[in-house]
Chain A
Amino acid sequence: MAVFDTPREAFGALRPACVRLTQAQTAENVALLRARLAAVGAAALQELQEYVLYPLRLALASPGPRRERLAQSAARGLAAVLGATRLRGPELLRELLAELCACLGTPPAPGPAPGPGPASEELKLAVVEALHALIHSADGDVILSLYRPPALHLLGFAVSLLLGLAERERARQVKISALKCLQALVLRCECCQHRQLREDEEQQCGDSFASFLPGVALALSRVITADIKQGHATTVAALRVFYQVVGLVMADEQLARIPENKEKPSGEQSEVSKLVVHRGPDWSKNTAEKLSLLLHKIVERSSVHSHWKVRLELVELVHHLVRNCRQSLVDSFTHLLKAVVGLVNDENSEVQSRCNEVLQHIAEQQLVAHNRALADVLSENLHSLATALPRLMNSQDDTGKFATLSLLLGYLKLLGPKVNIVLNSASHLHRLSKALMQVLELDVTDVKIVEDRRWGSGSGYEGSLQHGVQKGGCQKKYFRFFAEEKVFQLLQQVCRVLGYYGNLYLLVDHFLGLYSESAVYRKQAAMVLNELIAGAAGVGVDVLQEREVPLDRDDIKGAITSVLDEYTDQANWYLVTSIDAEEASHELSVNHSGLAALPGAACGSVLPPPDPRVTTRTMNSNIWQICIQLEGVGCFATVLGKEFRLLLLSALYPVLEKAGDKTLLISETAMGTLVDICEACSYDSVQCLINENSDYLVNGISLNLRHVAHRPHASQVLDTMLRHSDASLLPLVEDVIQDVLSTLDQSYNHQASTFLGVLHSLMAALVKWFGPSRSEEPQRRQAAERQSGTLGQVQAAITGQEVEQFFLDYVRQKQVAEGNLSDSGDEEADEVPPVAKLEPSNSDTEGETPLPSHAQLAKDVMGRCIHLLSDRSLRVRLKVLDVLELCVTVLHPHRNHLLPMAHRVWPALVTRLISDDPLAVLRAFKVLCTLAQKCGDFLRQRFSKDVLPKLTSSLLSQAPASARAGPVYSHTLAFKLQLAVLQGLGSLCEKLDMGESDLNKVADACLIYLSAKQPMKLQEAAQSVFLHLMHVDPDSTWLLLNEVCCPQLYEPPHASLQPVKLRGMGRPRNEFTDNVLLLLEKLQQQESRVLQAGTQEASPA
């Protein structure tokens, strides 16, 4: 765009403008010149530099009343010329500098620092920019002349002028320009066109600025700490200039070269040289002290500055100073490191990453490792922070806590391997650990933790299995002093970093000491220990530098073993986590309250604590402690990996014990731990883990069973094993189940209830593993047979052929009976005996073959149940009945064993059915139904003799009561009993193939429940009884129902036959009518269905 490239052309173009300006200094003329200047090439302008500058200078310094516009315009012109050219004369530089400065203020004079005159903002800006352009355009050697002692006063004037502008000026633009200009003046300009300064030149620059350091530093620090209204750019620029200046003057390199004593000023320069500061050790020490104060102030203000660029600049400041002034400013490092460490977790990611870089750099340079002083500074910081930590944690909000903890973490990270210096000092370690103990204090007021129970074994069965898949994460903890998860994560990191760098033995020892010192610290210490070990193994640690000595596996194994021993020590593992509801409610249910009839209330309600010393708070705390310890075990497993297998010998049993705990939180955590162990030791599943280590578990169980009174947990372990494994476990635990049974034999009185829990889960497991698939099949077959049986009957009754066949058979049978055998009959007779022979031999062999182990177990358990059926405690009796039912289910396929057992059980069961608590009767009736289903007609005789009369009479006697009762009745036990009996009776009759008189009894007893006055549910149940009766004996049922109510008239087909008279005929509509009609209709349907089926079947034949 330059039009005039040669000096000649340029001269031609500029000359008129210059001449005019020289003659009349007006703003218009300056503007003209500036316009011309724009069209002149840089090379040409360089030639004409002085020529052009002259009129501009003239304009700038024009006498008379200040013409601001003129000066401003001239300054702009100067800036434009200087921007395009290089300044080659030191004299010119000085003159221009002086003239520009003079525009703004009075020339330098001894006395107080000159303030900028009352010039307008535009002028100031123009002048400052011109100054900037001036310094920029000066070549290296030229600019350096400024830093020689003779020019010191001029430099000082400029510096103070610029500082004044930066500090006092209102306009943001001016401030920033002034600061930029100042930065250029320190030769730290950001543009890269300057050549690299030589060392001695740097030194010279530093020397001269040393004189201004106090002023510069003070003024800048005022700017930095000024109101944030000045805008972040100003602060950023001021920060930058500050660290440039300080970094220049206090640079270690430069200070190292300063001779001990000030050299004698030579000759005529001595006057000025007095102004030059000698940067000797004393001076630097003094200055560092003062700077430390300023830095502290700056860091404090800027690290919380709302704009991230300021914080970023602060990080740069730290970086710059740490790099250049490591020795000279060591005292300030406390503040500097605090700043950068604190900003590691800044909300702005750029600040964060830069911070990390800087820290990384600091660590990489091993500044700390090789600088004892720095390590001391850090450890001192750490100490004071640890001291203040509990107070801060109490008073600060979560963000504040976060910042404080980030600081702690940062110190530790920076210290790196040197952290052992801190740890080796008892007081430091003490402070730090106490602080952690206090900060990590858990909130143990939540009652829910204690209340959440894993409900009885029956219902929890399926749930717990699904559960096993879920990964063992940490349980969410609630802390007293903070709520945010990220605060906890920081604390975790703190512990892990400690573990990573610190002496593991020392730390583990110390925290184990705290663990056993007081129950108050126990949970926290355990938490810290877990993290320490994770950290030591390098799990999830975020560090700046590698540790010096790689980890010794044996060390960590040793540490883990000792911690594990401590955790699973009886005193720390068996804590009171609940008031034993089982034992307590024991007494309650013996006293029998009607309320207990509600399902669920029977299985252990949480009662008010009988022992006031065990508060909810302690129990909560205990629960958490166990959980933390369990998490620890999981964490150790993760750390050790497959090597943990060796520790399973001691660790698996306790964990499984807790997996069977009644407290939900504990059992869940233990399950998580099991999953962790599985993964660490590379087992496929929890089941695998249990099966492959069943020998360890069995050993633990059998040894603990010996002291069942003191350690009732053995049964829980077995329970858990059964819950989480499959049939393949059975051979492994058979041995110990026998132990359980024999122990039970020795202590029926005291521990029956505990053992019943195990027996229940054992039987439930057996049912699950061996039960349904086998037991269902024969049942179905039976049903099919029965169905075909009735079909046959009906068919015989209907088709004439069948009738004929029947009579033929009958005649032949009769002949056979009388001894008249035909030939063909012979053959048939021959065929029969082998079948008859076969059958008993079959059953014989079945009796002799040893029972499969699960059935044998069921038999053994059933044997025990017989004894326990008459236990004094209702609770036990109920449980026994449950177990009994399961036993019957398991033993079902082995009829030859089931029947004798049923025989033995019978008397006790009858007692339960006839004269026991209604609750037990209910349960016993259920058992009876199951038993009947499995044993069939074996029980018929006994049932009709021992039980049926009682049942029918109770049904009859209760009927009036239920007929009268209101809606509340359906919540009573009596109602439930009636319902259960009515619901079960029908199928019982069918299964047991009851005789006619018994059926009549049943029908009579149930008939009154068909009354519309009875509760609906009872009516329905009674209907079901009749439906079953219809299957067994449709005819008599029909008759009975018709006796009550007969909707139809039956006309005899022939007059010679007597008319059919049924008692129910012609009766008025009554309470039974509806139900009876319904039943009759169903009967009709059933019969016609059978009829259809029969004809269909018969037709193809």
Chain B
Amino acid sequence: MAAPPPDPQFVLRGTSAAVHTLHFSCGGQEPDVPVLFSGSENGLIHVWNLKTHRVDKALDGHGRKSVCWVETMDGKDRLLSQGRDQKICLWDLAEGRASVTDSVFTENVGFCRCSLLKVAEGRWLMAMAAKALDEVQVLELPSKTSVCTLKPEAGAKLGMPMCLKLWQINCGSQPLLLAGYENGSVVLWNLSMGKVLSQLFCHQEPVMSLDFDSEKAKGISGSSERVLSIWSLNEQQNLQVHTTHRLVNSGISDITIRPDKKILATAGWDHRIRVFGWKKMKPLAVLDYHTATVHCVSFSDHKNPSERLLAAGSKDHRISIWSIYTQT
């Protein structure tokens, strides 16, 4: 008899709305419990205690509008959240507080999730879709000063940005931005010049999600099609398609490469989470638990590899937690 299909280690219930984004914060020292932030459709951000598997706190700051992105800035005490109310909030969660200390009004009506990059101690860059439909704006945090606005050339017909990824080759080097657009292309932007470095047309449908591995200079993107596209960046800063990977069912809502760059996970519209080896795109596992579209996948950043987890949030209001490190 074949081994039974893998089970989630735990399922977090109680968001009572579809879960759109997840973010782990497990880096703290011992007395600190690892936590998972989840943003859901009803505008609440839940702080899950991963020891008790219960909600420690529920943050309500987006006027009951869907939360589509959460990210911490240095530990779990400062949290950025982006909501469909066109606001990005900075939360202060230290010492049991739960207040919004700062916020940015994006004026963007799209779904595009922001991207955050720490460029120096106490200095972050955040890319976000701007007011004009096809523009991307990069802000410096915490000062909120605009670094640049990336506006495609007239006639490029990229459509709205769908997903963003800020990255830099190594610490201190020039930060770059990868953006997936509505017309199915992935574009590499130079932030300082505000110019397109390279453009790759790799999907027929809007790019739903992308992730990039700066070490291997290789990225992956998914759209509503049945295809995952893997592309690489050569020394001339040109994007070119590396391979494509065909899927059984169409629709990828999120792709995340694990921080150790060994595997990646995709969140599928077919209710399934797929895990691949990053090197050769070898399919490793299909995690089948959810009963509705999976919206997001996230890997934990726990120091102890055996306690690292994969979390997936779905439209069925549940967050499944998987332990895939120990098994591989």
Contact = CB atoms under 8 A, between A and B. Distances in A.
Interface of A: 645-646, 649, 695-696, 698-699, 702-703, 706-707, 710, 735, 742
Contacts of B8: 703
Contacts of A710: 4
Nearest to B6: A706
The list of the 8 closest CB pairs from A to B, nearest first, reads: A707-B4, A703-B7, A699-B11, A699-B10, A695-B13, A649-B53, A735-B13, A706-B7
A325 B54 CA distance: 65
Interface in B57-81: none
Nearest to B1: A710
11 contacts: A645-B52, A646-B52, A695-B53, A695-B54, A696-B53, A699-B11, A699-B13, A702-B11, A703-B7, A703-B11, A707-B4
Nearest to A707: B4
B216 interface: no
B262 interface: no
Interface in B270-299: 289, 291
Nearest to B53: A649
B97 interface: no
A646 B53 CA distance: 10
Of the candidates A698, A706, A707, the one having the most CB atoms from chain B within 10 angstroms of its own CB is A706
A569 to B, nearest CB: 16
A695 B52 CA distance: 10
Nearest to A693: B54
A1029 to B, nearest CB: 54
Nearest to B11: A699
Contacts of B194: none
A702 B11 CA distance: 9
A562 to B, nearest CB: 16
B16 to A, nearest CB: 10
B7 A649 contact: no
B5 interface: yes
B142 interface: no
B110 interface: no
Interface of B: 4-5, 7-8, 10-11, 13-14, 51-54, 289, 291
Contacts of B11: 699, 702-703
Contacts, number: 28
Nearest to B317: A735
A360 B205 CA distance: 85
Given A646-B51, A646-B52, A649-B53, A698 B13 contact: yes
A707 B8 CA distance: 12
B47 to A, nearest CB: 15
Contacts of B54: 695
Contacts of B5: 706
Nearest to B288: A706
Contacts of A702: 11
Contacts of B10: 699
Nearest to A645: B52
A870 B278 CA distance: 52
A650 to B, nearest CB: 10
A824 B21 CA distance: 71
Contacts of B14: 695
B98 to A, nearest CB: 22
Contacts of A703: 7-8, 11
Contacts of B7: 703, 706-707
A267 to B, nearest CB: 83
Given A649-B52, A706-B5, 20 more contacts: A645-B52, A649-B53, A695-B13, A695-B14, A695-B54, A698-B13, A699-B10, A699-B11, A699-B13, A699-B53, A702-B11, A703-B7, A703-B8, A703-B11, A706-B7, A706-B289, A707-B4, A707-B7, A710-B4, A742-B291
B290 to A, nearest CB: 11
A803 B51 CA distance: 82
A497 B324 CA distance: 43
B213 to A, nearest CB: 33
A658 B14 CA distance: 27
A1095 B289 CA distance: 72
Most-contacted residue by chain B among A645, A695, A742 (CB, 10 A): A695
Contacts of B51: 646
B35 to A, nearest CB: 16
A645 B54 CA distance: 12
Contacts of B52: 645-646, 649
Contacts of A695: 13-14, 53-54
Contacts of A645: 52
A589 B261 CA distance: 60
A698 B11 CA distance: 9
B206 to A, nearest CB: 32
A735 B289 CA distance: 14
Contacts of A698: 13
Nearest to B10: A699
A735 to B, nearest CB: 6
B287 to A, nearest CB: 12
A442 to B, nearest CB: 34
A703 B4 CA distance: 12
Contacts of A707: 4, 7
B315 to A, nearest CB: 14
B2 to A, nearest CB: 12
Contacts of A742: 291
A706 B7 CA distance: 8
Nearest to A703: B7
Nearest to A696: B53
Contacts of B289: 706
A707 B5 CA distance: 9
A315 to B, nearest CB: 53
A735 B14 CA distance: 10
A683 to B, nearest CB: 15
Nearest to B316: A735
A1005 B10 CA distance: 62
Nearest to A736: B13
A962 B11 CA distance: 61
A860 to B, nearest CB: 15
Contacts of B13: 695, 698-699, 735
B285 to A, nearest CB: 15
A570 to B, nearest CB: 12
A383 B138 CA distance: 77
Contacts of A706: 4-5, 7, 289
A646 B54 CA distance: 11
A499 to B, nearest CB: 27
